């Protein structure tokens, strides 16, 4: 489905319909319940729903709560009018729910509390993403040197296999392959009992050591351009015939290659340290012994 933000693809009326539908179900935007005060300095009131004012800036907030690709609508008067219409509907429904006493239901109160916390947590995450902490080259170099194994790209091979239920069946298929190696995909589709990849000719894509069970891995990495087909290999899954398709040598990226990744890691570490300190300083008591962990 194409993005509803693409005005050149969707007609204007379809864009507006999609916008309204999104706003009606948008969880991230809080409904304003009756009686709430909103300190909107110098923002004109654009609607009143049973005493609750909706300000022009509330429409801005709605748009700023949308995905970034939709935020250009902040300058679109027609879109703003539609958004206001949906906000009025939401306010009226929220007021009706409150009038029915639904806001006093313990489960509803819990969900409102959780929704409020979710918004606050997301705001903290956004703050963390916008963190402008600068890490100097020495910090980046130090981390790189201490964690080089984390960045090392291991040797990988590209292989495919046919999984059979018995050694006899594997030998029969191998005999065909030795005469007609180009039939590997067709034979995998016909005979392999590995439903996860038989539809793509038994292709396992690229993998490094440690990704497969050891007997399979040992046999696969023993293959090369001169010896592409394995003998039947037994694992707990059955009998495999493996075909080698290619190899990528392992390499070690330079610190410049992974600099952005290291900065992200260091920022996350800073946030985790901040969170740990917050938890240590918070007054937390788990009263039920079996929940203390």
The CA-CA-CA angle for residues 218, 222, 226, to 5°, reads 160
Q: What is the structure's pLDDT at 39?
A: 59
Residue 278 structure tokens:
């917050």
Tell me the mean pLDDT in the region 203-214: 96
Which residues lie below 8 Å from residue 4, measured CB to CB, with a gap of 6+? 10, 14, 15, 18, 19, 22, 70
Q: What is the structure's pLDDT at 124?
A: 87
The CA-CA-CA angle for residues 34, 39, 41, to 5°, reads 135
Which residues lie below 8 Å from residue 157, measured CB to CB, with a gap of 6+? 206, 207, 220, 221, 223, 244, 245, 246, 247, 248
Confidence grade of residue 187 (pLDDT, cut at 50, 70, 90): very high
Query: Which residues are 251's β-sheet partners?
Result: 153
C-alpha span between 113 and 107 (Å, rounded): 10
pLDDT of 178 > 90? The answer is yes
Q: What is the structure's pLDDT at 86?
A: 93
pLDDT of 14 > 60? The answer is no
Q: What is the structure's pLDDT at 126?
A: 83
> How confident is the prediction for the chain on average, in pLDDT?
87
Q: Is 156 helix (H, G, I), strand (E, B) or coil?
A: strand
Q: Which helix (H) or strand (E) holds 158?
A: strand 156-164
Domain ranges of the chain: 12-99, 137-148+254-291, 153-248
- Cα distances (Å, whole numbers) of residue 129 to 69, 123, 156, 268: 18, 10, 33, 9
Which CATH number applies to 153-248? 3.10.50.40
Q: What is the structure's pLDDT at 8?
A: 38
Q: What is the structure's pLDDT at 116?
A: 94
Tell me the mean pLDDT in the region 216-221: 97
Q: What is the structure's pLDDT at 249?
A: 95
Q: What is the structure's pLDDT at 24?
A: 55
C-alpha span between 125 and 45 (Å, rounded): 31
- Note the pLDDT tens digit of each residue in 245-291: 999 999 999 999 999 999 999 988 998 999 999 999 999 999 999 99
Confidence grade of residue 203 (pLDDT, cut at 50, 70, 90): very high
Contact 46/55 with Cβ under 8 angstroms?
Answer: yes
More confident residue, 155 or 132: 155
- Note the pLDDT tens digit of each residue in 76-129: 999 999 999 999 999 999 999 999 999 999 999 999 999 999 999 988 888 877
Burial 48-61 (b: 16+ CB within 10 A, else e): ebeebbbbebbbee
Q: Where are the alpha helices (DSSP H) in 157-243?
A: 167-179, 184-191, 214-221
Q: What are phi and psi of 205, to 5 degrees?
A: 60, -160
Confidence grade of residue 2 (pLDDT, cut at 50, 70, 90): very low
């Amino acid at each position: 489905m194409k993005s509803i933000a693409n005005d050149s693809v969707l007609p204007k009326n379809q864009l507006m319909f999609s916008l309204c539908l999104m706003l009606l179900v948008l969880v991230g935007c809080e409904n304003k319940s009756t009686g709430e005060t909103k300190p909107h300095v110098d923002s004109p009131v654009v609607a009143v729903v049973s005493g609750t004012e909706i300000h022009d800036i509330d429409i801005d907030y709605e748009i700023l709560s949308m995905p970034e690709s939709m935020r250009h609508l902040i300058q679109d008067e027609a879109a703003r009018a539609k958004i206001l219409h949906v906000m009025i509907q939401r306010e009226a429904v929220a007021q009706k729910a409150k009038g029915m006493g639904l806001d006093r239901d313990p489960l509803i109160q819990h969900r409102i509390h959780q929704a409020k916390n979710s918004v606050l947590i997301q705001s903290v995450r956004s703050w963390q993403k916008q963190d402008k902490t600068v890490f100097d080259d020495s910090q980046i170099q130090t981390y790189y040197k201490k964690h080089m194994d984390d960045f090392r790209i291991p040797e990988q091979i590209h292989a495919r296999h046919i999984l059979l239920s018995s050694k006899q069946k594997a030998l029969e298929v191998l005999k065909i392959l030795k005469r007609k190696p180009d039939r590997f995909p067709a034979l995998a589709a016909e005979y392999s009992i590995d439903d996860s990849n038989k539809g793509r000719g038994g292709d396992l894509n690229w993998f490094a050591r440690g990704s497969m069970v050891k007997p399979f891995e040992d046999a696969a990495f023993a293959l090369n351009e001169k010896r592409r087909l394995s003998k039947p290999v037994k694992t707990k899954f059955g009998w495999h015939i493996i075909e080698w398709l290619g190899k990528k040598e392992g390499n070690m990226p330079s610190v410049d290659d992974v600099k952005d990744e290291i900065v992200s890691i260091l920022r996350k570490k800073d946030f985790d340290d901040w969170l740990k300190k917050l938890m240590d300083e918070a007054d937390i008591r788990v009263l039920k012994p079996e929940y203390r962990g």
